[in-house]
Structure 1
Amino acid sequence: MASRRTSRRAALDRLIAFPFAHRGLHGSGRIENSRAAFAAAIEAGHGIELDVQSSRDGTAFVFHDSELDRLTSVKGPFAERSAAELQAMRLHGGETVPPLTEILRLIGGNAPLLIEVKAPNRDVARLCLSVFRSLEAYRGPVAIMSFNPEVGRWFARHAPRILRGLVVTESGKTALRGRVERQIALWRARPDFLGYDIRDLPSSFAAAQRRRGLPTLTWTVRSEEERARAARHADQIIYEAQTPS
């Protein structure tokens, strides 16, 4: 058991050795969560953070928003579209909406990878299963993470070898109820690390988990001041705009 914990921590340390580009290294004509943004992050030698959502028929696609409007010329909920419909859609800038399997082939283990699973309710099994099946043949450093503790719970039960994180924000949840919810989420998700809102650092909750041995990644770092704060209170950053040295 101890050797398994040591091996798991070594894998986590390898995963978080470099900063992560939030939704890929986008900007300068590269749209978020696109092939071009991921290729740019690999070229920079940094990790990649990306988002996945489920199509109507249960396929994991790389896309952030619950609605299509901001990133495509199509309107309406992402989850109401089939995999075939999504693969035919184009992001602003010309690329098509990519399935997770294609992006995993593109990355090919050449960058550490964080997959944020966008699951808005307790019905997480179909999307988690699609992500797991996509990862079965993947050999690069990778972890899943989610705001939804049921995602971590699903992976702890069904795919325990995959590293998992709990994403946390304290925004609007600073009172007793919020503190209790964070403890319950931690218990249910059984995470290997936390992904913490930079706006909440320093945080007594995050600090307590770090003392217990749970590393803290922090998002989304956009300024030198936030980088300095992250250096004091977290173990790695998920960044936008400025490319860390």
Structure 2
Amino acid sequence: MPFALLDRFLVPAPDQARVGWLRGVSYAHRGLHGNGVPENSPTAFALAIERGMGIECDVQRTSDGHAVVFHDWELDRLTGESGPVIERRSSDLSKIQLTGGSDCIPTLRQFLDQVAGRVPVLIEIKSKRDVRVVPLCLAVRRTLEGYRGPVAVMSFDPRVSRWFSRHSPRIVHGMVVTENGNRALLATIKLHLAFWQAKPQFLAWDVRDLPSRFVAAQRERGFPVLTWTVRSAELAQRAADCADGPIAEGAGVRA
């Protein structure tokens, strides 16, 4: 009960007119990739747009302060290059080809120009404890200026959602969560502390941790709940039962 009262006091329910578009949409996890189409590639995004799906993508900062669409901290798994993304300039990264296809790493600007408001977009801002979040948040906000499509930012790092809540509240911002099956008291306390710090307007929850009493309570309060990564028909059904929209790939993408 104390947690519920503090949730309501510290994190007010979002304005439904601002967040309602998040519901009822299936989002392609890093675009519709696979079968020779790399993740987070222009081709994967084009396939998602063609299918009328929303798109979830990952964003990192370059050494010269730009936002690029790439998941891993290192280049090694997804390209023929190696080393940290953050140590490369945007112009250099845009020439690096993604393994398994002919596309190169897109900037966030190129991605948004490609989507052009045709489908909803979720931008996951990559972060970790020893990385400053402000430069990347600023880079994303600058890139989003003037964009006229449904778009939201989200992150596992509560500092990201908190930054947008304070400095750019008109950009819809959310918190990404995995409980890893841990619902002990200490884990529950940490979850609520992160929620209070982040002050999100929606949640993106690990489908493996659904159903969840916390999720159900916030959903009842009006927080849209998306769920990731939906990779099977079974998980798609769980997403339909417990959340407002799947972030899916592979067999989890419904025909």
- TM value normalised by structure 1: 0.94
* Aligned mate of 1:200, from 196, 204, 209: 209
| C-alpha contact (below 8 Å) 1:23/1:50 kept by paired residues | yes
Deviations 1:110-168 (A, max 9, x none): 01000000011362000000000000010000000000000001101111001111000
SS at match of 1:61: strand
The two structures, once aligned, show a CA RMSD in angstroms of 1.7
For 1:1-245, what aligned pairs fall within 5 Å after superposition? 8-92=15-99, 93-121=101-129, 123-171=132-180, 173-242=182-251, 243-245=253-255
Number of residue pairs aligned between Structure 1 and Structure 2? 241
**Mapped contact 2:74–2:85 kept (Cα < 8 A):** yes
Residue 177 (structure 1) shift: 2.3
Greater shift in the superposed pair: 145-154 or 72-81? 72-81
**TM-score under structure 2 length normalisation:** 0.90
Aligned partners of 2:106 and 2:144: how far apart in 1? 15
State the one-letter code of the partner of 1:105: D
Greater Cα offset, 151-160 or 163-172: 163-172
Larger relative contact order, structure 1 or 2 (CA cutoff 8 Å, min sep 6): 2
Q: Structure 1 unaligned segments of length 5 or more: list them.
A: none
- Following TM superposition, by how much is the alpha carbon of 1:24 offset from its aligned partner in structure 2, in angstroms? 0.4
* Paired letter, 1:219: W
After TM superposition, the runs of 4+ consecutive aligned structure 1 residues lying more than 4 A away are: none
- Between the aligned partners of 2:208 and 2:199, the Cα distance in structure 1 is 24
Deviation of residue 221 (structure 1)?
Answer: 0.5
Amino acid in structure 2 at the alignment position of 1:191: P
Q: Secondary structure at the match of 2:109?
A: helix
SS in 2 for 1:166: strand
Give the percent of matched residue pairs that are identical in Structure 1 and Structure 2: 52
Q: What secondary structure does 2:24 align onto?
A: coil
Moved more, 79-88 or 109-118: 79-88
The gaps in structure 2 that reach 5 residues or longer are 1-11
